[in-house]
């Protein structure tokens, strides 16, 4: 099994046959593996490079500076998360990574870092570009599930998404037993956009429980469906486990950078099994509010 490539430009044209074909391929990707590469995503490579460069200068700054911006609670879920602080797999030691979580403009303005955000429109431009891409994918999801095209986007219109810069430093000492760069987990929200930089390492679990590499494909954006989409669709779309292992080659001596954009429904959205998804199997999960689900997931991993 491999991760399919979807050309999104074919969804943004008026030709209904080609559009429907993209919708069908997206359905299949979400159903069979929960991951896909998006080609012609509309995200400018130059902009992405600028965000990676801002990310690198932030992580290069002294720990004391980063800690002034420390993440301190799951309700705000914004700020700097130090090495080994988060356990994406709660049963294993903390992840060998540091991260910086950024929420929407209001929070950005109240929580700006002198290095990363002040006078740096790059981050907010990128946040908006990711929001736009996520909305296009959500439109295709709705059509794939035989819902009105804007069913999901209207439930995601409060920009409740988290942009996360990630840095996996070169390994200095031996890891603890079971410790990896990012423990195996599924994402919590509706979908995630993932951008890797040079040093790869992401792995995805197939339905046969095999781990396959999800390498960087230059110019493409990796998209995966998260837990809330899995609940909403009664497992028709899957929330696939993924992880970042410690490389067993020279990449272990290198910093790895990635960026994740976690797309979340508005907090007050009730995630209840969609009618079109309850025909073959009765609802697996009870309804839950999107905001509640996110909070409980964060509480498990910090
Ligand atoms: O860094 C990566 O490639 C993956 C990160 C990830 O899966 C996450 O933060 O949820
Ligand atoms: Fe993830």
The string of DSSP codes covering 187-238 is -SSSEEEEEE-SS--EEEE-TTS-EEE----TT-EEEEE-HHHHHHTTTSS-
Protein fold of 5-301:
Jelly Rolls (2.60.120)
Backbone dihedral angles phi then psi of residue 209, each to the nearest 5 degrees: 70, 20
DSSP state of 95: P
Instruction: Indicate if the pLDDT at residue 69 is higher than 70.
Output: yes
Instruction: Indicate if the pLDDT at residue 109 is higher than 90.
Output: no
pLDDT average, residue stretch 200-217: 94
Q: Which residue's CA is the closest to the ligand 1 atom numbered 10?
A: 187
> If pLDDT is split at 50, 70 and 90, which confidence band does 116 have?
very low
Instruction: Indicate if the pLDDT at residue 156 is higher than 90.
Output: yes
pLDDT average, residue stretch 271-282: 93
Domain boundaries, the chain: 5-301
For a mutational test of ligand 1's pocket, the pick from 242, 246, 247, 257, i.e. the residue with the most ligand atoms closer than 8 A to its C-beta, is: 242
- 260 Cβ inside 6 Å of ligand 1: yes
Residue 17, classified by CB atoms within 10 Å of its CB into exposed (0-12), middle (13-18) or buried (19+), is exposed
> Which residue in the block uniquely carries the two structure tokens 């000492």?
173
- 256 Cβ inside 6 Å of ligand 1: no
For a mutational test of ligand 1's pocket, the pick from 169, 202, 217, 300, i.e. the residue with the most ligand atoms closer than 8 A to its C-beta, is: 202
- 187 Cβ inside 6 Å of ligand 1: yes
Task: Tell me the C-alpha distance between 51 and 54, whole Å.
Answer: 5
pLDDT at 105: 56
80 or 104: whose pLDDT is higher? 80
Contacts of 243 (CB under 8 A, 6+ apart): 88, 89, 180, 181, 182, 183, 184, 185, 202, 203, 211
Least confident of 3-12, 75-84, 115-124, 155-164: 115-124
- 259 Cβ inside 6 Å of ligand 1: no
Q: What are the start-end ranges of the E strands in 132-180?
A: 162-168
Instruction: Indicate if the pLDDT at residue 273 is higher than 70.
Output: yes
198 or 246: whose pLDDT is higher? 246
Task: Tell me the C-alpha distance between 99 and 255, whole Å.
Answer: 13
Q: Which residue's CA is the closest to the ligand 1 atom numbered 3?
A: 202
Average pLDDT score, the chain: 91
pLDDT average, residue stretch 21-44: 98
User: Is the ipTM beyond the 0.90 threshold?
Assistant: yes
The string of DSSP codes covering 11-51 is TSSS-HHHHHHHHHHHHHHHHHTSEEEEES-S--HHHHHHH
CA of residue 15 to ligand 2 center, whole Å: 34
Task: Tell me the C-alpha distance between 255 and 186, whole Å.
Answer: 23
Whether pTM exceeds 0.90 = yes
pLDDT at 114: 42
Distance between alpha carbon 275 and the CA centroid of its chain, in Å?
26
pLDDT at 41: 98
């Amino acid at each position: 099994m491999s991760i399919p490539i979807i050309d999104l430009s074919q969804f943004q044209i008026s030709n209904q046959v080609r559009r429907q074909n993209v919708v069908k391929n997206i359905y299949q990707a979400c159903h069979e593996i929960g991951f896909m590469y998006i080609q012609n995503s509309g995200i400018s490579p130059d902009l992405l490079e600028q965000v990676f460069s801002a990310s690198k200068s932030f992580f290069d700054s002294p720990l004391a500076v980063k800690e002034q911006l420390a993440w301190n609670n799951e309700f705000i879920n914004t700020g700097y998360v130090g090495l080994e602080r988060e356990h994406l797999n709660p049963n294993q030691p903390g992840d060998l990574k540091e991260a910086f979580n950024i929420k929407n403009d209001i929070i950005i303005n109240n929580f700006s870092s002198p290095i990363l955000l002040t006078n740096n429109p790059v981050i907010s431009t990128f946040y908006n570009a990711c929001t736009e891409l996520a909305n296009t994918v959500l439109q295709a999801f709705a059509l794939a599930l035989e819902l009105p095209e804007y069913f999901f986007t209207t439930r995601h219109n409060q920009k409740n998404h988290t942009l996360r810069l990630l840095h996996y430093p070169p390994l200095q000492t031996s890891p603890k037993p079971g410790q990896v760069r990012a423990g195996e987990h599924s994402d919590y929200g509706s979908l995630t956009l993932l951008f890797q930089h040079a040093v790869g390492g992401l792995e995805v679990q197939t339905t046969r429980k095999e781990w396959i590499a999800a390498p960087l494909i230059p110019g493409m954006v990796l998209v995966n469906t998260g837990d809330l989409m899995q609940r909403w669709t009664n497992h028709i779309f899957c929330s696939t486990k993924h992880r970042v292992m410690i490389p067993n080659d020279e990449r272990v001596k290198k910093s790895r950078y990635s960026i994740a954009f976690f797309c979340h429904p508005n907090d007050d959205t009730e995630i209840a099994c969609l009618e079109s998804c309850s025909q073959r199997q009765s609802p697996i999960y009870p309804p839950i509010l999107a905001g509640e689900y996110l909070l409980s997931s964060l509480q498990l991993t910090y």
